[in-house]
Structure 1
Amino acid sequence: MASFNPLARIHEDNKLTGPNYVDWKRNLTLVLTAAKVHWVLTTEALELPGPDAPYDVRDRATKWHEDDQMAKCYILGSMSNVLQQQHVGMASSMDIMYILRKMFGQQNRSARQIAIKGLVSTKMVEGTPVRNHMLKMMGHVRC
């Protein structure tokens, strides 16, 4: 079924397969931010308090757990089937992202080294427009 929501299209078209971790993470951040659940990736898990706890404490913990489940669904839904099976039983979305960063984060280091090498070694060709040179330099810094 085709979706007309641009964020849903980003989510559907950018499945994590491994080598595309940097692009996938950037697109996932967009989707989670738009869904207003990105905050659970930066907040430690909140224990569900007992029934005698103040309402605001229970409400915040319940909201965290609901938003974490939503974030997990977005994360798992944007992975290849093999990666989904490996991560489906994890406790929180933060745990999933931690493991993925460990699995694929090393690619970030090599990508940064390649980008820095490109930035340092690229020289403007005499007689060409500055615009072309700037576009080439911006291509090295693709984030």
Structure 2
Amino acid sequence: MLVEKCPDKSYEPTNYEIKAYNKWVKADERARCYILASMANMLQHQHQSMITIYDMLESVKEIFREQNCVAKNTSMKAFFTTKMVEGTSVMEYVLKMLSLLNDLEILGAVIDKESQVEIVLQTLPDSFPQFCLNYNMNKMDLSLTKLLNELQAAESIIKQ
């Protein structure tokens, strides 16, 4: 409700429209006070003259948009360039990749589940070619969690 612009007052509003408008104004004012109180002094000073929460949120989004872009690029690079080192635990590696994917999702990046699995498979060391071949030949459809379980089973066989 408050992430939208203030509803317009019509020329001859109905009682319902008046109540809805007054409710919106009261909620907006309360939220504005809470948000201003929780901001750092510099941001607080910049935003105290703004009339609505909507205006404040748009301003904050604009301020942090560039930082978000840099963070997303950094996380993308880490995700696409991370390779599992031969001899390390496949569980640790997949959990690291899941963490990077979680960071990317929080930053607004969208990578479909199939591509996530493919990227993890592409970054496995040379000791997993049989697993990758089996995955592709059987056209397996795995989530990252199921892939982790399968990779752990394969890892225990490879170690033997």
- Paired with 1:73 and 1:138, the residues of 2 have a C-alpha distance of 38
- Would you say 1:55 and 2:15 are equivalent positions? yes
Distance 1:121 1:91, change over 3 A: same
What is the aligned partner in structure 2 of residue 118 from structure 1? 78
Runs of 4+ in structure 1 deviating by more than 3 angstroms, as ranges, are: 47-50
Instruction: Classify the secondary structure of the residue corresponding to 1:123.
Output: coil
CA contact (8 A) 1:49 1:61 kept: no
- Paired with 2:98 and 2:33, the residues of 1 have a C-alpha distance of 34
CA contact (8 A) 1:119 1:140 kept: yes
What is the aligned partner in structure 1 of residue 6 from structure 2? 45
TM superposition shift of 1:72: 1.1
Q: Which has the larger displacement, 129-138 or 63-72? A: 129-138
Distance 1:68 1:112, change over 3 A: same
- Structure showing greater radius of gyration is 2
TM superposition shift of 1:49: 5.4
* Structure of higher RCO (CA pairs closer than 8 Å, 6+ residues apart): 1
What is the aligned partner in structure 1 of residue 99 from structure 2? 139
Distance 1:96 1:120, change over 3 A: same
CA contact (8 A) 1:48 1:62 kept: no
What is the aligned partner in structure 2 of residue 71 from structure 1? 31
What is the aligned partner in structure 2 of residue 22 from structure 1? none
CA contact (8 A) 1:46 1:65 kept: no
Length, aligned pairs only:
103
What is the aligned partner in structure 1 of residue 68 from structure 2? 108
TM superposition shift of 1:124: 1.7
Listed as ranges, the gaps of 5+ residues in structure 2 are 107-160
Residue in structure 2 matching 1:84, options 17, 32, 44: 44
TM superposition shift of 1:127: 3.1
- Paired with 2:38 and 2:84, the residues of 1 have a C-alpha distance of 40
| TM-score, with structure 2 as normaliser | 0.57
TM superposition shift of 1:121: 0.4
